[in-house]
Amino acid sequence: MSKKKKFILENILIESYAAEGKCIARQNEKVIFVEGVVPGDVATLFVHKNKKDWAEAKVNAITTLSKNRVTPFCDYFGVCGGCKWQMLPYELQLSYKEQQVKDQLRRIGRVEAEESLPIKGCNETSLYRNKLEFTFSNKQYIAPEDLKEGTSFDKNVLGFHAPRLFDKVIDIEFCHLQNEPTNAIRNFIRAYALEHGLTFHDIRNHTGLLRNLIIRLSSLGEVMVNLVFGENNETLIQQVMKAVLEKFPAITSLNYTINLKLNDTIYDQEVICYAGKEFISEKLEDFQFKISPKSFFQTNTRQAEELYRIVRQFADCKGHEILYDLYCGTGSIGIFLSKNVQKIIGVETVEDAIKNAEENAAFNHLENTHFFAGDVIKICNQDFFIKNGHPDIVIIDPPRAGCHEKLIHKLLELKVPRIVYVSCNPATQARDLALLSAQYTVTKSQAVDMFPHTHHVENVVQLNLK
Ligand SMILES: C[S@@+](CC[C@H](N)C(=O)[O-])C[C@H]1O[C@@H](n2cnc3c(N)ncnc32)[C@H](O)[C@@H]1O
């Protein structure tokens, strides 16, 4: 292959799937990672990174489409960053995800599970999200092929950010990710705002009344809306909220937030309940969860239940165990397993999440759960384990970066009999398993698909002390 840094390659067959949405092609034994294609496509590639053993390329054109492709179901496919794998049949998406997990455990972790269970796919591959967040913007996204001389980006729109364009938003009329009344609520608010001349957020100048819209639905039929304003105009805010409530009396928790900061996060802002309850309720098996506007909750409710069932199977509790739920978020895994053990100890860095965990434990009348706010590295020291009891089972569910090495060394030192490692990033999980495999056997592994039509995959691993 050329020694140049940047060049074009023609007629290249995309051979297989790699990870993170990237596929693999080969040229004279060199591996080329390519985004935006599927195995079986033949493409013209623009190589923009050329290293000794590998290269990275962008697609200039797909000259022959893979016979595995199917017709995407969404009008915004190719534009919106949401469901990028719609061109693949769901069964094939699952097999690529399953293969990716196995490859990464083998390649990065140098481990192979004694038993690899088949990936757990979703029964519902659309309308599966319980939460969506939309952005108001005074700048619309226009696809490059639709750009003509004189086309203006100035338009008040409400939808999703265009990938890699922080100031342009795709105006969404219908999204397949969440059930109704989500589309109806979003479209009503946009129409109301346009009719009444309300201003939409201008991200560059930090002006505009309407900023974000967050909608959450629960499987119990409850609906939460949080409308985020970028200006504090009490009269206009009250008028919009009144109009939304009159149009959608079925909203069970109607809230608004005034966010005058430069960034969109509302976690440090007060959420004001305009009508209804301050939370919605969700149910996983027999456990009820209170979800307030700022709470974290797994976004695919039915699949979260499946994930937690796998965690429970892998934990294989007999009833007497002290179980630590590390990186516990709002405590949902611990609560889900609470009936199977003697005691649950949850640790999470976000204080509000721990408050939610405690509320949820009380909501379910649990007396064997104890939650602690703080960094696992600081909290989980010798004293902590002496005080709360030697762990029989530890569940770890860290963020994408994986576990801190210090925590892994602590678990090795404690010789915890069983660890169940839940991960949303099999690459960092594999890295951590490489360290744990010094003293642990990877007995089971099962991938779970929480997000159909995306390349994201969750993986659960059971480790037993050798
Ligand atoms: C993948 S989420 C786990 C969610 C939870 N197990 C559930 O199923 O809802 C990872 C969690 O780890 C927390 N976290 C990140 N770094 C942490 C740390 N150093 N110590 C404790 N918690 C941490 C995050 O705030 C987040 O809630």
* Same domain assignment for residues 230 and 311: no
Model pLDDT, residue 60: 93
Residue 430 lies in a domain: yes
Structure tokens at 3: 């020694």
Residue 84 lies in a domain: no
For ligand 1, atom 26, the nearest C-alpha belongs to: 329
DSSP run (H or E) holding 410: helix 405-414
**Do the Cβ atoms of 325 and 333 come closer than 8 Å?**
yes
Q: Which residues of 199-236 are buried (b: 16+ CB within 10 A; e: fewer)?
A: bbbbbeeeebbbbbbbbbbbeeebbbbbbbbbbeeeeb
349 lines ligand 1 (CB under 6 A): yes
* Same domain assignment for residues 41 and 181: no
Residue 219 lies in a domain: yes
Query: What's the gap in Å between 397 CA and the centre of ligand 1?
Result: 7
* Same domain assignment for residues 450 and 304: yes
Residues in the chain: 466
**CATH code of 21's domain:** 2.40.50.140
416 lines ligand 1 (CB under 6 A): no
308 lines ligand 1 (CB under 6 A): no
* Same domain assignment for residues 320 and 455: yes
**Ligand 1, closest atom to CA 329?**
27
* Same domain assignment for residues 258 and 325: no
Model pLDDT, residue 147: 84
**Do the Cβ atoms of 138 and 56 come closer than 8 Å?**
no
Contacts of 51 (CB under 8 A, 6+ apart): none
Number of structural domains (the chain) is 3
Residue 86 lies in a domain: no
* Same domain assignment for residues 337 and 452: yes
Q: 82: exposed, middle or buried (C-beta count within 10 Å: 0-12, 13-18, 19+)?
A: buried
Q: Which of 83, 175, 403, 424 is catalytic?
A: 424
> Which residue range is the domain that position 50 belongs to?
7-64
For residue 103, give the 3-state DSSP assignment.
helix
Residue 2 lies in a domain: no
* Residue 150: CB atoms within 10 Å: 5
Active site residue 424: yes
Model pLDDT, residue 1: 65
* Same domain assignment for residues 137 and 275: yes
Model pLDDT, residue 263: 93
Residue 280 lies in a domain: yes
* Same domain assignment for residues 145 and 259: yes
* Same domain assignment for residues 142 and 60: no
Strand partners, 27: 30
Residue 70 lies in a domain: no
* Same domain assignment for residues 254 and 392: no
**Do the Cβ atoms of 210 and 200 come closer than 8 Å?**
yes
Query: What's the gap in Å between 331 CA and the centre of ligand 1?
Result: 10
**CATH code of 178's domain:** 2.40.50.1070
What is the reported pTM?
A: 0.93
**Ligand 1, closest atom to CA 424?**
1
Torsion of CA 321, 419, 400, 228, to 10 degrees: -10
**Do the Cβ atoms of 215 and 131 come closer than 8 Å?**
yes
* Same domain assignment for residues 232 and 320: no
For ligand 1, atom 7, the nearest C-alpha belongs to: 329
* Same domain assignment for residues 232 and 275: yes
Q: Which residues of 9-42 are buried (b: 16+ CB within 10 A; e: fewer)?
A: beebebeebbbeebbbbeeeeeebbbeebbbbbb
Query: What's the gap in Å between 378 CA and the centre of ligand 1?
Result: 14
Model pLDDT, residue 13: 95
For a substitution probing ligand 1, which of 294, 344, 348, 351 has the most ligand atoms within 8 Å of its CB?
348
- d(CA 108, CA 118) in angstroms, rounded, equals 21
What's the chain's average pLDDT? 95
350 lines ligand 1 (CB under 6 A): yes
Contacts of 353 (CB under 8 A, 6+ apart): 295, 296, 328, 329, 330, 331, 373
Model pLDDT, residue 167: 87
Extract the residue ranges of the chain whose pLDDT is less than 70. Answer: 1
Model pLDDT, residue 143: 85
Residue 81 lies in a domain: no
For ligand 1, atom 9, the nearest C-alpha belongs to: 329
